A and B are shown apart, each in its own frame.
Chain A
């Protein structure tokens, strides 16, 4: 199978800007992307830099961007990639931000590791220093972790996250948040409240997830960080640590609005979420009104199934609204 690899090259010590080198390679039917990188380095150009270690999808070192998708080079069959993208494969570092690229496909992941450390990614509990038996928990309680412990911290999700791409440098990102959930869902951990309080902050925490689903798409271990973020949202409400802010009010506001109309009252939802701060939307609101894009309270449609919807909310709501 002949495949063309367009590989991102950039050595900040010598290059003003990055370029791509092309390599036409004959690859075996069962080769993976890492085999191609090794072939380039060992047989064609020894100066190519990339990270690699275990070769078994466990260490996460060889994470790269392949035709826009973050993958583990060692876990991605070339045949599958060709079926998905055609036989020109573009290999790039996880982040192409100039300040992050150390050389070629190797990037500085300090921001990622700092955030991982910030969530204290280890079990916090008072334990017997000389236990006489293992600290066992039943399988049903392990299931609560929802495979969050499969995370290998490769960074695929973090460097595809649209909140991070949008320039929110404080946001902890999907990996650190999934890691937080890994411990808030563990009945042995004693720092649940402290962990939830950390991620309950606007900016750094769960509320600034843009919900793009990119982290689910790229995770090579099926961790599904987005669902863990949703479950952290739920835990924040369930454990009563939710602060009143625009994001928590927004989530609660949906229940109020659906109760009242069956569908959303978009205008009132924004007012409910923002309070007096809603005035900042005035220029847009005026423009929308002029174009017939705003429903006034007396024009607000209601669902024809409102009684049923209200009854379902009454019997299905799992916890109470604060106000």
Chain B
């Protein structure tokens, strides 16, 4: 099994532990990784506000990089996943638009063909490795109550993710829960697991962003979670880095560790905590 890994910007900068732990976990699962070092930023749902066409062109090129290698493009970030998958859906369904984009790509030697699947690491390992195989690598059962926090862009809009995320019901998702169970942890059910962390308005409306972050953390805490796990590094940044500020805002003292999905897998696989980059977290495990 080999993936073309689209790291996104965050895994190379503010969440280096995400890339580190993904590579460690991939090794255990027998996945060969080819990092798309030539890729550009996906625009993170903000570039499109300024120039939607440019966002499509840049993401079409990102997908072309995986197509050229004949590999599935695998993402580590919910927002990257949505941007790339949106681009794929648009280009695959609108021939006229695909031609316009390909005119631009031709100038730098690419042609978008639509041959590569675009899938988040969470759904890629569920599809390609499977729960049964993953369970065989568990050396240190989690034995903890773990709250899944999905983040918006991996479950909504479901029409965009249809099929690629194994037909998840965005109101009753179970992909992360199924992983927590095979890692011998206990998934915590709580209303906020499918809600928004507020990341994308953090700069212009910090109060709103902190409210949403605090709601999620409090909800997980009140439902007995010992830690949160998320497939999105942007949610991680709000829930971990901004936890102190969000908790202060609601007059609570919270110390909720927030793990990236590969870190949770790595812990159960018995991988050393430092190799998983847990030392990079603001709230320690």
List of B residues within 8 angstroms of A82 by Cβ: none
Q: Determine how close the nearest CB of chain A comes to the CB of B247; give it in whole angstroms.
A: 13
Q: Would you list 23 pairs from A and B whose C-beta atoms are within 8 A, ordered by A residue?
A: A68-B191, A85-B172, A162-B212, A166-B211, A167-B211, A208-B205, A213-B156, A217-B156, A233-B48, A250-B46, A251-B49, A254-B47, A255-B50, A255-B51, A262-B41, A291-B281, A294-B14, A300-B13, A308-B109, A311-B108, A312-B104, A315-B104, A319-B51
Whether A166 lies near B208 (C-beta < 8 A) is yes
Q: Tell me if B139 is interfacial: C-beta within 8 Å of chain A.
A: no
Q: B279 within 8 Å of A by Cβ?
A: yes
Write out the residue numbers on chain A whose beta carbons fall within 8 Å of the beta carbon of B104: 312, 315-316
Minimum CB–CB distance from A21 to chain B (whole Å) comes to 21
* Residues of chain A lying within 8 A (CB to CB) of residue B54: 255, 312-313, 316-318
A168 close to B (CB within 8 Å): yes
Is residue B98 contacting chain A, with contact meaning CB distance below 8 A? no
Tell me, yes or no, whether B158 is within 8 Å of chain A by CB. yes
Q: Does A293 contact B (CB under 8 A)?
A: yes
Enumerate B123-148 residues with CB–CB distance to A below 8 Å: none
Q: Within the complex, what minimum Cβ distance (angstroms) separates A220 from chain B?
A: 13
Min CB gap B267→A, angstroms = 18
Selecting from B26-34, B196-204, B219-227, B257-265, the interface stretch reads B196-204
Residues of B within 8 A of A (CB): 9-10, 12-16, 37-41, 43-54, 57-58, 61, 65, 82, 104-105, 107-109, 152-153, 156-159, 169-172, 191, 194-196, 198, 200-201, 203-205, 207-209, 211-212, 215, 241-242, 244-245, 279-282
Nearest CB of A to B74, in Å: 17
With both chains docked as a complex, state the minimum distance between the C-beta of A176 and any C-beta of chain B, in angstroms: 17
In the complex, what distance in Å separates the CA atom of A202 from the CA atom of B162? Answer: 33
B66 to chain A minimum Cβ distance, whole angstroms, is 13
Asked whether any CB of chain B lies closer than 8 Å to the CB of A132, the reply is no
Query: Across the interface, do B172 and A84 meet the contact criterion of CB distance under 8 Å?
Result: yes
Residue of B nearest to A164 (CB): B208
Taking CB atoms, residues of chain B closer than 8 Å to A263 are 9, 12, 39-41
For residues 263 through 298 of chain A, which have their beta carbon under 8 Å from a beta carbon of chain B? 263-264, 266, 270, 273-274, 283-284, 287-288, 291-295
Q: B39 to A305, Cβ gap below 8 A?
A: yes
Cα A245 to Cα B203 with chains together (Å): 10
**Given A226-B157, A258-B43, A318-B54, 18 more pairs with CB closer than 8 A:** A162-B198, A162-B212, A163-B201, A166-B208, A210-B209, A213-B82, A213-B153, A234-B50, A255-B47, A255-B50, A263-B39, A273-B203, A283-B245, A287-B244, A293-B280, A300-B13, A304-B38, A317-B51
Contact A202 B108 (CB under 8 A): no
In the complex the two chains form, is A284's CB within 8 Å of B49's CB?
no
- CA gap between A318 and B82 in the complex, in Å: 22
